[in-house]
Structure 1
Amino acid sequence: MSTQAQRTTSGQITLVVEIGLLLLLSLIWGSSFTLIKVAVPTIPPFTMVAVRVTIAAMLLLLLAIAQGHALPRQRSVWAAFFVQGLLQSALPFTLISWGEVSIPSGLAGVLNATPPMFVLAIAMSTGRARQTVTRWKIIGVALGLAGVAVTMGLDALSGIGSAAPLAQAAVLGASLCYALAPMWGQRFSKLPAIVTAAGAMSCAAIPMVPAALILERPWTLAPTSQAVAAVIVLAIVCTALAMVIYFRLIRTLGPLGTTSGSYLRAGFAVALGTAWLGERFTLSSMAGMALILAGVVAITMPPSARTSRGN
């Protein structure tokens, strides 16, 4: 086998590995919506997130040390970790957990499939994507926005003070955080993924622990065993393990490629919510979900795939 052929084969294997990791991350984060729905009735949002990020931070720090990595000492790096922790964990976890008090986990998962649209919109507004904006991407953004509007319902504006529209808006706010997080996270490309994950998660715990203690007094709670188990799985699998995969994918696939897994995550969230929680959706919700997923696919589909479909 020639050197060029070996390089091509190696590149193909690497791509398969990265896509496999993206699928795994989508499954892990898709299941998090179901786990949050199980936990939130007896463990309120701030407490749930505080426990989740604290356990994950401890595991990631221990793993980084065990692998022989030294944590950065520069204040500027830790300031950047703090922003990353807010964008990737503290804010979106809290917004989603609060939102799922009032809406189904599957709906939350679909509304949270919108980060690629935010990534594209931000890139367009900052001038970073002017040469890569295509007709399909514009169509994708339009479809996604229409899907959000249909999913939230035509009466959302009239009922803006009620729980459901605000809950849906909170989940969309989490999507914006998830769009900004990989863009910010690119600055850590020279650090090992485990170090970045440990630093960012540790910083996420800093505001969440006192917020939970002050606002929800967790020592007064009486969580069910299922809720406790759900939070433990959220911390170990959906946060600690997921963050290591996530920061690797930022380096290998980039922000848009990494966030493209959000529509796969949405599919897993809907399937798990239906199978485990018996969730049902209205016709408008299903139509909105379909529009959102179609929009994300249009934005993230490689140009070669569009060309082949047109032939």
Structure 2
Amino acid sequence: MSRHANPRLITELGLLVLLSFIWGNSFTLMKVAVETISPLTLTAFRVFVAALSLYVVMRYQSLTFPRHGKVWLFFTAQGFLQCALPYTLISWGEQEITSGLAGVLNSTPPVFVLLIAWLLGAGTSELTGRKIAGTVTGLAGVVLIMGVSVFRDAGHAAPLAQLAVLAASFCYALSPLIVSRFSGIPPLVTATGSMMSATVMMLPVSIIFDKPWMLSPGNEALFSACILAILCTALAMLIYFRLVITLGPLITTSGGYLRAGFSVLSGMLFLNESFSLSTCAGMFLIVLGIVIITAPIKK
């Protein structure tokens, strides 16, 4: 292994941290938004604004969509698995459970990635002992940060809400496994096509079931929805589709651990929540787990 760190790897890991930071704060934003905006309409708004924003950038860069029907099936699958379904499930679940518990449950995609690879007998490179050890280490860090109080809350939270957030994690595990098969498409094109597909799915559902023109969202909910759309969806998806290609499915989904950690740090910084040694130790385990998964193997 070279004495000097790979600059490209450092850049990609930096983007992984940024993505985890953005998505780590999305749980709080969703919690605020769903107080006056229904989950279906919130998801429709997020993907519509994201699709519009990304399309403007795509046109500015003179990029075009592929004309092959197979590629648009891929965009549709991504729009459904990475946005339409999980966003709705998490938003609905956070009506019944705390954002902290949602963060714990939604940090499990790396575990699902390994399980899927094992069950399908595919992606054997994902099943090395080192990567399994890193996954378990990161998960232990999440548990340590959130503490036993989160799991005490789980006993009182609506079971269906917990299952909904876990189902969203399963979607997040499936999505990058599909993306890796279409690595030749620019991330911006993939993100835009996926958001457009998600918009086509969610707008009619929102109009039929929610009648969004009848809603009366508060200012905080509207602000949260706009941040969710622009930063947590448009920008985040652009980074996400790049990382799946450059880092691979397992490393990208391992950002779920950092996501949970950042959600706790945000609470301490902005909500004056308490800081403890267990939080510091948990963050160390999370970082250690990702280092174990991503560190180059000496030859």
TM-score, L = length of structure 2: 0.84
Cα displacement (A) at 1:134 = 2.3
Q: Deviations over 1:241-295 (max 9, x none)?
A: 1111111101110000101111000111123245545779xxxxxx9xx99x969
Q: Does 1:89 align with 2:115?
A: no
- 1:137 corresponds, among 115, 127, 132, to 132
Aligned partners of 1:298 and 1:186: how far apart in 2?
Answer: 22
The corresponding residue for 2:164 is 170
Conservation of the 8 A alpha-carbon contact between 2:134 and 2:292: no
Q: Does 1:100 align with 2:88?
A: no
Aligned partners of 2:132 and 2:206: how far apart in 1?
Answer: 40
Q: Does 1:251 align with 2:242?
A: no
Q: 1:140 to 1:66 in 2, by over 3 A?
A: closer
Conservation of the 8 A alpha-carbon contact between 1:197 and 1:247: yes
Structure (1 or 2) with the larger CA radius of gyration: 1
AA in 2 matched with 1:186 = S
Counterpart mapping for 1:10-49 below 5 A: 12-49=6-43
Counterpart mapping for 1:154-303 below 5 A: 156=155, 164-273=158-267, 275-276=269-270, 301-302=292-293
Q: Deviations over 1:151-190 (max 9, x none)?
A: 555985xx7xxx6221111111100000001001112211
Aligned partners of 2:111 and 2:288: how far apart in 1?
Answer: 10
AA in 1 matched with 2:293 = P
Q: Does 1:56 align with 2:50?
A: yes
Q: 1:126 to 1:142 in 2, by over 3 A?
A: farther
Cα displacement (A) at 1:304 = 6.3
Q: Deviations over 1:182-208 (max 9, x none)?
A: 001112211111000000110011111
Q: 1:294 to 1:14 in 2, by over 3 A?
A: closer
Cα displacement (A) at 1:297 = 6.3
Q: 1:99 to 1:72 in 2, by over 3 A?
A: same
Aligned partners of 2:183 and 2:248: how far apart in 1?
Answer: 10
Conservation of the 8 A alpha-carbon contact between 2:107 and 2:260: yes
Counterpart mapping for 1:111-126 below 5 A: 111-126=105-120
Name structure 1 gaps, 5 residues minimum.
281-286
Match of 1:84, SS?
A: helix
Q: 1:40 to 1:83 in 2, by over 3 A?
A: same
Name structure 2 gaps, 5 residues minimum.
none
Aligned partners of 1:213 and 1:205: how far apart in 2?
Answer: 12
Match of 2:264, SS?
A: helix
Conservation of the 8 A alpha-carbon contact between 1:36 and 1:231: yes
Cα displacement (A) at 1:215 = 1.3
Cα displacement (A) at 1:114 = 0.2
Count of matched residue positions in the alignment of Structure 1 and Structure 2: 291
Match of 1:301, SS?
A: helix
Q: 1:249 to 1:122 in 2, by over 3 A?
A: same
Aligned partners of 1:154 and 1:244: how far apart in 2?
Answer: 34
Q: Deviations over 1:209-248 (max 9, x none)?
A: 1111111111111111111011111111111011111111
